[in-house]
Amino acid sequence: MPALRKLQFEADDGSAGFRAQLNEQRWDDHRFYHHSLVNQSLHFVSACTFLTAYALLFKDPAIASLLAWGVAMTSRQAGHFFFEPKGYDHENQVTHHYKEEVKVGYNLFRKWVLMSIWAAVPIVLAFEPSLFGTLERPAGFVGYLRHVGIGWLCLGVSAILFRTLQLFVQRDIETGIVWATKIVTDPFNDFKIYRGAPARLLKGERRDDEDRIAA
């Protein structure tokens, strides 16, 4: 059964608690931005990689960050940029523009900005390995890569904090905290709900809602 049918987060009408908001944000993210089974499969790969990075984070943060940004984030965002349909969403009866406007977290424009900064980090460190004297000069290419990993780790933490603070101002404090919680726990949730996507993709399916569209 397609994930769009299986995954249902329902809260009581009077419930405005943390869990209800978290479930709502997760459900909106799934139904609006994960129609493509290629995208879902890439999110499954991303989730597995992120979980591995989480396990490495306190042992070797530089390697964990290289894995998270170099594999998990690139596969995750490639799914959104290149495979997720951007036309009219008949399933939810909304336009792509509307979805971009109401996106709680990073919409495609914000993601372009974020990924541009991500790509700039290794370029800047290649030309200025000590980052203008703020870092020790790396010993060889491996040292350079570790600097890049730490730079990407700082970028990831900063991106979450920045958007959380934006949501504090634009919406309310709880929305920001809920979104930050969702981002940090997305790998666990994505692993659970998208683990069946690769098998369906290999069977020839391309969209999670294609049977409904055909109907």
Domain presence at residue 85: yes
Domain boundaries, position 65:
18-209
Q: Which two tokens stand for residue 58?
A: 């306190």
Burial 22-37 (b: 16+ CB within 10 A, else e): bbbbbbbbbbbbbbbb
Q: Is the pLDDT of residue 13 over 80?
A: no
What's the rounded Cα separation, in Å, for the pair 200 and 195?
10
Domain presence at residue 214: no
Domain presence at residue 1: no
**pTM for this predicted structure:** 0.86
Average pLDDT over residues 74-81: 96
Domain presence at residue 75: yes
Distances from the Cα of 145 to the Cα of 41, 70, 80, 81, 141, angstroms = 28, 11, 27, 26, 6
Domain presence at residue 10: no
Cβ pair 46, 73 in contact under 8 A = yes
Domain presence at residue 5: no
Average pLDDT over residues 62-88: 96
Domain presence at residue 36: yes
Q: Which residue has the higher pLDDT, 202 or 132?
A: 202
Can you give the three-state secondary structure of 124-138, one letter per residue? HHHHCCCCCCCCCCC
Cβ pair 212, 35 in contact under 8 A = no
Domain presence at residue 172: yes
Q: What domain count does the chain have?
A: 1
Contacts by 165-173, CB closer than 8 A, 24 or more apart = 167/104
What pLDDT, on the 0 to 100 scale, is given for residue 132? Answer: 74
What pLDDT, on the 0 to 100 scale, is given for residue 5? Answer: 38
Cβ pair 34, 190 in contact under 8 A = no
